[in-house]
Each structure stands twice: as structure tokens, then as C-alpha cells.
Amino acid sequence: MADPVKSIVTPIRLEYDYTPGRATSRFLRGIARHCILGQECPKCHKVYVPPRGSCPACAVPTEREVEVRDTGTVVTFSIIRVPSENIHFELPYAAISVLLDGAGIPFFHVVQDIPLDQVRMGLRVRARWVATEALAPTIASIECFVPSGEPDAPWESFREHS
Ligand SMILES: [Zn+2]
């Protein structure tokens, strides 16, 4: 008698239609006009980027919109060596958590134009946007971040985020 089948290995694919909601919709519309919008908590004044529509720490809505800079500080990073569908960066590359100037929480993206062994916490970076005519309401309108050439940010300026 043949052994019973206990498991099979099969490729699986899940596709999502993501409905962004009000706060994220406004954020994405901002991106389409070269503008990074966050929302400030009225109680703790933390600026959420992308905005979530509320502050999870204070449990209040965040309605005041704040434009943040497209420059920031790398607060942590990871070297990616595994391919992923829809990610077009050449392997290996550095995924970063970047605290944009004016934001209260870091934002995930990729840094390019720097050797991987020089990517570091405190590295100052700026967004590289797609051409103006290609701007669209997608985070892909920011191609990547690149070093800004500024001196590294001091640890004290981002310690709570790393
Ligand atoms: Zn708050």
C-alpha cells in the first residue's frame, strides 16, 4: 500500500486590491504633486508619515496635515539579498527606515548610490523623485533615497527610532 499523502508543495499567489482610506488617499495625492504629507496628533504632536488618520498612542483622530521634507536620516537598515516580485532593485540592496525631517515616525524605502558597506545609521539622505510628468499617487513616485552629502545626524537626534 502506498504511503498516505501528508503534504504537498505548491506555488501560491495572493492578489490584493487595497483601499487606502481617507488619510492614505490624501498622502498619495500629495505624492502625486511632489509633496510628502503627514498628520500631526493634536495631543502628543507626533507627525505620522504616512498618516494613519489617528494617533495609536493618544487614541485621537489626526486631522491637521503637515508637509514634511523629502530629506531625512537613516535610523536603521537591512541588506536585502532575496528577490521579491514587483521589487525592481538590483540585488543586493539596502532597505532603509528613514526619519524624514519633520516626521515623528520613520518611513520605509530603499537607498541607492552608496556602497552597501557604507550604509549606516545616521546617514543623511534625500528622495530621488521620478520625472515630474511621471508623478502619480503611488510611493513609486519616489524612486529611492540617495545620500544627501550632509554630515551624519547625531545618534541623539534619532535614538528613539532605531
Ligand atoms: Zn498622540
* DSSP codes joined into one string, 110-161: EE-SS-GGG--TT-EEEEEEPPGGG--SSGGGEEEEEE--SPPPPGGGTGGG
Residue 89 domain-assigned (yes or no): yes
Count of structural domains, the chain? 1
Residue 46 CA to ligand 1 centre (angstroms) = 6
**Cell 493618544 appears where?**
58
Residue 12 domain-assigned (yes or no): no
Range of the domain at 104: 21-157
Residue 6 domain-assigned (yes or no): no
Residue 36 CA to ligand 1 centre (angstroms) = 20
Q: What are phi and psi for residue 160, nearest 5 degrees?
A: -70, -10
Residue 129 CA to ligand 1 centre (angstroms) = 30
Full-model pTM: 0.87
Residues with CB under 5 A from ligand 1 (ion): 41, 43-44, 55, 57-58
Residue 147 domain-assigned (yes or no): yes
Over the stretch 52-110, which tens digit does the pLDDT of each residue have? 899 999 999 998 999 999 999 999 999 999 998 888 899 999 999 999 999 999 999 99
Specify the 3-state DSSP secondary structure of 36.
Answer: strand
Residue 15 domain-assigned (yes or no): no
d(C-alpha 64, C-alpha 59), whole Å = 15
